[in-house]
Amino acid sequence: MSTNRFVLNETSYFGRGAREVLAQEIKERGFKKALVVTDKSLYEVGVTAKVLQELDNAKIPYEVYHHVKPNPSIENVNEGLKICKEAEADFIIAVGGGSSIDTAKAIGIVMTNPERADVVSLNGQSNTKNKAMPIIALPTTAGTAAEVTINYVITDEQKEVKMVCVDPHDIPILAIVDTELMESMPKSIAASTGMDALTHGIEGYITKAHNTMSDMFAMKGIELIYHNLAKAVNEKDPVAVEQMGYGQYIVGMGFSNVGLGIVHSMAHQLGAVYDTPHGLANAILLPTVMRFNAETSYERYREILIHAMDVDATRFTKEEVINTFIEKIIELSEQVGITQRVGDVGAKEEDIPMLAEKAMNDPCKPGNPREVTKEDFEMLYKIAW
């Protein structure tokens, strides 16, 4: 008998202005002082200030760490840890996309599991003993769903490797999905993070470990993302932005519990070696990898076309299913302005064997529905070139 584990976070709020519940939740939980983890751009343009204002109004003390990189590093974790300890904070507030929330997760885990202070030992399936320091996550992008997942990704810059850390102890105790914070994102970031969310949904639906529960989340999330991403990015339509907030969260509940595939295995290497934004790397690679996976997954593609993309693919041939599905992905990507190839984001063709070798060791690889070799990875990088 097979057993499927499902882990979800404790409490979440959704809606424009939802951050107004922050102070009340903090006080009811008895927290005293926060470490606010965010990135420099959000801090400078005033997005973080909208959250800090809630703390100021309620006279809740805090310290801010605002130097998180787009691909957060071990150095970011160590810097945040130092501030957290010096501030004597007893909980963490993460404001930002996956980078800020992932950094907060790593800080929170090491704070309660000091024997893992090297950070590198957190890579892969973690066996930490204690739950992370309490984390409240306020995502500003509709993409990573880090506020509801048991995963976080930290870059080991010395080895040029992204560590994919999987640990039920890292999940935030509270998620506040305030779409007003998401509306402030530049078009390019909204586009790439939205395509990241679509990738989560699709890979989560076809991964080897998918199950009835995860299928439910993945399919609904894909539907919401597919029908709302272009309006959210190009028109800043408030309803579409709100639906994207739901969509990325919903697919997060699914993939967090069943894993992903080699779109992520390949994208992680572009981020680790060239600092390519994660969502952009996923968007570029998604059509190429979906064609590679088609032989094993085309019936799953048919289901997505019918139930999430409003295409009557019931009588489509195998080839029609595959071509239509990939065309729909490319069409959406182009609608939001993502048309680059791997070579356009700093990748070097002579590095392909090295990237392929790194992808072979990526923790997302085992979940891919089709087996993959180093030669396959090299071929896929070249096709996406």
Query: 127: pLDDT confidence band, cut at 50, 70 and 90?
Result: confident
Q: What is the strand order of the sheet 135-139 is part of?
A: 11-14, 174-177, 135-139, 91-96, 34-39, 62-68
d(CA 167, CA 100): 17
* Per-residue pLDDT band at 143 (split at 50, 70, 90): confident
371 class by beta-carbon count within 10 Å (0-12 exposed, 13-18 middle, 19+ buried): exposed
pLDDT, position 133: 98
Q: What token pair was written down for 178?
A: 């305030």
How far from each other are the two terminal CA atoms of the chain, in whole angstroms? 44
At 2, is the pLDDT very low, low, confident or very high (cuts 50, 70, 90)? low
Q: Could you report the per-residue pLDDT of 191-207, keeping only the tens digit for each?
A: 999 999 999 999 999 99
What average pLDDT does the segment 70-97 reach? 96
Of 252, 207, 232, 312, give the one whose Cα is nearest residue 7: 252
- Per-residue confidence at 342, pLDDT binned at 50, 70, 90? confident
Q: What is the mean pLDDT of residues 250-278?
A: 94
Q: Work out the number of other CB atoms within 10 angstroms of the CB of residue 372.
A: 23
Average pLDDT over residues 239-264: 96
Residue 345 has pLDDT above 90, yes or no: no
Cα–Cα distance for residue pair 40/76, rounded to 1 Å = 12
Q: What is the CATH number of domain 11-182?
A: 3.40.50.1970
Q: Where are the domains of the chain?
A: 11-182, 187-383
The SS3 call for residue 278 is helix
CA 126 to chain centre: 18
- Residues 313, 316, 320, 325: what is their CA dihedral angle, to the nearest 10 degrees? 20
Rg, the chain, Cα only: 20
* pLDDT value, residue 323: 98
Reported as a single tens digit per residue, the pLDDT across 203-214 is 999 999 999 999
Query: From start to end of the chain, where are the E strands?
Result: 11-14, 34-39, 62-68, 91-96, 124-125, 135-139, 151-156, 161-166, 174-177
Average pLDDT over residues 128-138: 97
| 315-334 pLDDT tens trace | 999 999 999 999 999 999 99
Classify domain 187-383 at the CATH topology level: Dehydroquinate synthase-like, alpha domain (1.20.1090)
Mean pLDDT (the chain) is 94
Same fold: 11-182 with 187-383: no
CA distances from 241 to 15, 138, 169, 227, 229 (A): 10, 15, 30, 11, 8
Average pLDDT over residues 267-276: 92
